A and B are shown apart, each in its own frame.
Chain A
């Protein structure tokens, strides 16, 4: 275990993250990269972009609370130190997505009310399931919920958003690429560290499976709200602006309907859960489908 955890040391983190892919960035992107004018000038597009970014801030705030809360529950020093780097990664994500809200015109004194207004209640419930485990200092369930379920979801969402933005918004795509690199490390830690702990505590499996099923339900409900209530495509059609043809999981996002995009994302995340949970010896539970 010690050898595997040495790959997750603070020394490795310093070399790969701040001195690696974050080099020469400011708030996650190059200094001269800006949001596209159309997002800033068109009120519908701006509001939809703010709404989407708020969900990222809410998710990252949950990840920050969870990773910092898990430090005191970690059974060994090396895990504590990895979680220290993850805590800082999550705080950086909170910071860069918060700054995106400022770039989109949210005033600093309105930040919290904007977040409260747009935060998806299903995403808040998703976070509550995880934070309940963290509050109980349940390290195994907490790491599965945080580093496999939450981070697995974030990883796929960011990848899809990256595919959507890469052809049209270099600034946000750049911000996302740094967070994706972080999430990949977090998911890797979860899989590697938890597998052995599950073997030592087989009695935890059913509780973890229930948690995954519940979190997955709230995640799917969040996706449904995010895609079905989104006015972006209608507005682009109205403006006569062609959609960007980013590719995600073999699909052209420029031709899919919002429902089709929702299904591609949901299927991808759930398949990832199944694979990753299988690697740590936990049986994936199919969640109920939100109405």
Chain B
């Protein structure tokens, strides 16, 4: 899927429908991920030297990764459930690429836990999961099950993905080399997912502004869970107060870009 012998049109010059046909396709996904996944094994280069943390730092990293696994499982279950209610073929195909991304994230994070010496990563994840994150997961799946497309996309591709993007970005800056590479690959995927959510909801809001009030309600129901998760994770990855504030700001900015101020 790499050899294109004819120059392609610059995608931002395309008409809107043609733009969506391009950016929501398997072809586009493959070209995007090939650039940063080619030659990697479980999300990192095979020759990257492992310098795992020890003692309490290792314990904190394990707890953090366990909670990332819960977040990714929620995203995998949410994205796959959304395919059934997606309004058209292009959004179904895009969500299928997101399902594979989320499945990959879960796999590389579980593998990282195994590399750190966790004997049974899946049961460890259950043991260490944060109640706020589990509650968020339940709320998200309730929105999907209620077939509320806009609210579920908002919770999944704006709130959850923005949270993960902000946290992973900060964590990657002070993580050990392998964890950093794994997170950097995940961040690149999250950016694509957030873009989809912003695009999909941005258009819907432009045509049906009344949706904004409902999404504002969803945000107010989920925000305290998100902020609680942010605080816990920031503590575990060892960032200072200033960085914690920046983390919260990054999350809020992503959400507010769509016009959902607190």
Interface residues of chain A, those whose CB is within 8 Å of chain B, are 9-11, 14, 18-19, 22-27, 31-32, 61, 64-65, 68-69, 71-72, 76-77, 80-81, 83-85, 87-88, 90-92, 94-95, 98, 108, 111
Please tell me which one of the listed residues B3, B37, B89 contacts residue A94 in the complex, with CB atoms under 8 A apart: B89
Name the residue on A nearest B43 (C-beta).
A11
CB-CB under 8 A from A19, the residues of chain B are 34, 38
If over half of B's interface residues share one DSSP class (helix, strand or loop), that class is named, otherwise mixed; here it is helix
A80 to B92, CA, bound (A): 18
Can you list, as one digit per residue, whether each of B54-73 has a CB less than 8 Å from chain A (1) or not (0)?
Answer: 00000000000000000001
B102 contacts the other chain (CB 8 A): yes
Which of B78-86, B152-160, B205-213 is the interface stretch? B78-86
CB-CB under 8 A from A32, the residues of chain B are 5
Which of B93-101, B163-171, B238-246, B249-257 is the interface stretch? B93-101
Interface residues of chain B, those whose CB is within 8 Å of chain A, are 1-6, 17, 21, 25-27, 30, 33-34, 37-38, 41-42, 73, 76-77, 80-81, 83-84, 89, 92-93, 95-97, 99-100, 102-104, 106-107, 110, 122, 141
Residue from B25, B42, B93, B99 whose CB has the most chain A CB atoms within 10 Å:
B99
CB-CB under 8 A from B34, the residues of chain A are 18-19
Are A71 and B80 in contact, CB atoms less than 8 angstroms apart?
Answer: yes
Query: Would you give 5 A-B contacts (Cβ < 8 Å), ordered by A?
Result: A26-B27, A69-B81, A84-B76, A87-B99, A88-B99
Are A87 and B27 in contact, CB atoms less than 8 angstroms apart?
Answer: no
A181 → B minimal CB distance (Å): 14
- A31-B3, A77-B73 are known contacts. Are A72 and B81 too (CB-CB below 8 A)? yes
Please tell me which one of the listed residues B2, B89, B99, B104 contacts residue A68 in the complex, with CB atoms under 8 A apart: B99
CB-CB under 8 A from B103, the residues of chain A are 10, 80-81, 83-85
If over half of A's interface residues share one DSSP class (helix, strand or loop), that class is named, otherwise mixed; here it is helix
Are A87 and B80 in contact, CB atoms less than 8 angstroms apart?
Answer: yes
A108 to B83, CA, bound (A): 21
CB-CB under 8 A from A11, the residues of chain B are 41-42, 107
Please tell me which one of the listed residues A14, A68, A91 contacts residue B37 in the complex, with CB atoms under 8 A apart: A14
Given contact pairs A10-B103, A80-B77, enumerate 11 new A-B contacts (beta carbons under 8 Å): A10-B107, A19-B38, A24-B1, A31-B4, A31-B5, A72-B77, A80-B73, A88-B97, A88-B99, A92-B26, A94-B92
A32 to B89, CA, bound (A): 26
A159 to B47, CA, bound (A): 41
Name the residue on B nearest A57 (C-beta).
B89
Are A95 and B93 in contact, CB atoms less than 8 angstroms apart?
Answer: yes
CB-CB under 8 A from A18, the residues of chain B are 1, 30, 33-34
- A24-B1, A64-B83 are known contacts. Are A108 and B17 too (CB-CB below 8 A)? yes
Are A71 and B77 in contact, CB atoms less than 8 angstroms apart?
Answer: yes
Residue from B4, B73, B103 whose CB has the most chain A CB atoms within 10 Å:
B103
Are A77 and B110 in contact, CB atoms less than 8 angstroms apart?
Answer: yes
A252 → B minimal CB distance (Å): 35
A88 to B102, CA, bound (A): 11
Please tell me which one of the listed residues A10, A69, A92, A94 contacts residue B104 in the complex, with CB atoms under 8 A apart: A10
CB-CB under 8 A from B6, the residues of chain A are 31
Counting from the closest, the 3 A-B pairs by CB-CB distance are A84-B103, A91-B96, A71-B80
CB-CB under 8 A from B106, the residues of chain A are 77, 80-81
Please tell me which one of the listed residues B5, B81, B100, B110 contacts residue A88 in the complex, with CB atoms under 8 A apart: B100
A95 to B80, CA, bound (A): 17
A31 to B27, CA, bound (A): 13
CB-CB under 8 A from A95, the residues of chain B are 25-27, 93
